[in-house]
Amino acid sequence: MNNLDLLDRTDTINGLLARYGVKFGIYKNGTFKEQLFPFDAIPRVIEKEEFAYLERGLKQRVAALNLFLRDIYNEKKIVKDGVVPEDFVYAASGYLVPCEGVTPPKDVFSHISGIDLVLGKDGVWYILEDNLRVPSGASYPMIARELCRRASPRTFNETAIEDNRNYARLLKHTLDYVNTGGLSVVMTPGRYNAAYFEHSYLAEQMRVPLVTYSDLEVENDYLYFKGYAGRKERVGAVYRRISDEYMDPMNFNPESVIGVPHIFDVYRKGHVALLNAPGNGIADDKGIYYFVPKMIKYYLGEEPILHNAPTYLPFYEEDMKYVLEKFDTLVLKDVAEAGGYGVVFGSKMTREQKEQFIAMLKAEPRRFIAQEVIDFCDIPIQDRGQIVERKADLRAFVLTAEEPVVWKSGLTRFSRNPDSFIVNSSQGGGFKDTWVLSQ
C-alpha cells in the first residue's frame, strides 16, 4: 500500500484541522486552554478478517453491558446470584439511585459505546476499558478522513478501505430509533467544554439543532426546544454531551447551572430519550470492568470473544496479596478516574511513593484495580521528518439501536512520548485515521 502521496501532505492536513477549529480543551490550574489534537497521516490499517473478529467481540460485549445496566437498575439478579458483589455496585460513584426502576425507551442504555482496546505483541487484542457515559472522539477520524480524501484522492481511489462517512447516519438512526416523538437534538454544556468541536460537528453532520440548557425547557412533563423565532417544538431525543451530575439541578447536583430543571422527570415518565442513559457510569467503573467476562457468560451464555487485560481486585484478599508481591510489575488505576488520570506504574514510583500508595491501597481497596502491563504494539508515526515507533490504542465505537452496530473505523490515539504508554489527548497524545480494509 503506497500512501506516500498522503504522507507528503501531513502538514497541509494539520493546517486545515487548525483552521476548522479541530481542537480539544483542557482545564489546567483552573484555566481553560484549547490545543490542537495532532494528526499523523500514517494510517492504522486493520485487515478485513481481523476487524470482523473485533466486530463480533464488541457486539457481544456491548450487548452484555446493556443487559447488565437494565438488570442492575431493576431486578439485580446478577447481584442476587453472587456474580457481582454488592460492594462493587453500590459503592461505585457512577451508580445513581434516582435511576432505580427507570427503563429507557426501547430498553437501550448504552446507545453510543466507546470501547478502548490495545493489540498486544502476542497478537491478542485486549479491552482496556469501557466508556458508556459520554464517549467522545468519533469526529476526529471523520473529519481527518474527509481532509485526507481532499488532499490525496489517488490514495483512496487505489485502496480498498471501508468508507467511514456513515457515522452521522448511524448516530442519527440511533436517535430516531429511541425518539419518543419530536425533534432530536445534541445538547452541549457550551463553548468551553473540552469536546465542543465534536458536539457542533456531529450536530451539523446529522442536521439537528445544537442546544444548551437555555434552549430547552420542561412544560407539563414534556421537553421543548425554544426555536429562534420563539416557536416551541417538542423534543423526543437528546444526545447529551453533559455528565449525569450536571444534567438536572432538581434531581442531581443542585449547583449545576448548565442543566435543564426536571429533564430527568420527563425521561423517567418515558416522554424523552436521553442518550446515553443516566446511570451508565456504573458500567464505566474500572472495578465493574473486572466482571464483564462473567456478565457475558451470565447474560448471554457465551464465552467472551475479546479478553480483558489481566486484572486484580485488591478488594479480594487473594488479589491484594498478589498485588503487594508483584507491585513493581503492575499498573494501578483509580476506578473512578478517566482520561489517563489516576494511572500509576509500580515500577516508576520511589520507595516513599510506594509506601504511601500501598497504605492508601490497604485503606481503600475498592478504589483501585491492578493490571498486568500489556506489552502492546508500537505503530509508526512521523516525528520531525523521521518515522518512529510509538504506543497506540484504538477506541472502537458501537452504536445500538435495534442491535449493536460497530462503526468500521475508529479513533487510533498514540503517545508522542517514546517512554509513555498513556495515549490520551489530555496527556499530550496525537491521533490517526483507522483504515478497515474492505477486501
pLDDT of residue 27: 58
Neighbours of 362 (CB within 10 A): 11
Beta strands in 55-132 (DSSP E): 112-119, 125-131
**Cα–Cα distance between 66 and 57 in angstroms, integer?**
14
**Cα–Cα distance between 425 and 337 in angstroms, integer?**
15
What does the buried/exposed string (b/e) look like for 154-171 if buried means 16 or more CB atoms within 10 Å of the residue's CB? ebbeebebbebeebbebb
pLDDT of residue 18: 84
E strand or H helix at 323: helix 317-325
Of the CA atoms within 13 Å of residue 375, those in its CB half-sphere come to 4
End-to-end CA distance of the chain: 13
- 361 with 323: CB under 8 angstroms? yes
Q: Cα–chain-centroid distance for residue 196?
A: 15
- 305 with 53: CB under 8 angstroms? yes
- As given in the structure block, the three cell numbers for residue 105 are 425507551
Tens place of pLDDT for every residue, the chain, 439 residues? 556 678 888 888 888 888 887 866 665 566 666 777 889 999 999 999 999 999 999 999 999 999 999 999 999 999 999 999 998 898 888 999 999 999 999 999 999 999 999 999 999 999 999 999 999 999 999 999 999 998 888 888 888 999 999 999 999 999 999 999 999 999 999 987 888 889 999 999 999 999 999 999 999 999 999 987 778 999 999 999 999 999 999 999 999 999 999 999 999 999 999 999 999 999 988 899 999 999 999 999 999 999 999 999 999 999 999 999 999 999 999 987 766 677 889 998 999 999 999 999 999 998 999 999 888 888 999 887 788 888 899 999 999 999 999 999 999 999 876 666 665 555 567 899 999 999 8
- 288 with 282: CB under 8 angstroms? yes
Q: What is the DSSP letter of 377?
A: P
Count the residues in the chain: 439
Determine the residue type at 213: Y
- 334 with 366: CB under 8 angstroms? no
pLDDT of residue 2: 52
Neighbours of 33 (CB within 10 A): 11
pLDDT of residue 3: 63
Does residue 276 have a cis bond before it (omega within 30 degrees)?
A: yes
pLDDT of residue 270: 97
- 216 with 234: CB under 8 angstroms? no
Neighbours of 400 (CB within 10 A): 24
**Cα–Cα distance between 292 and 127 in angstroms, integer?**
10
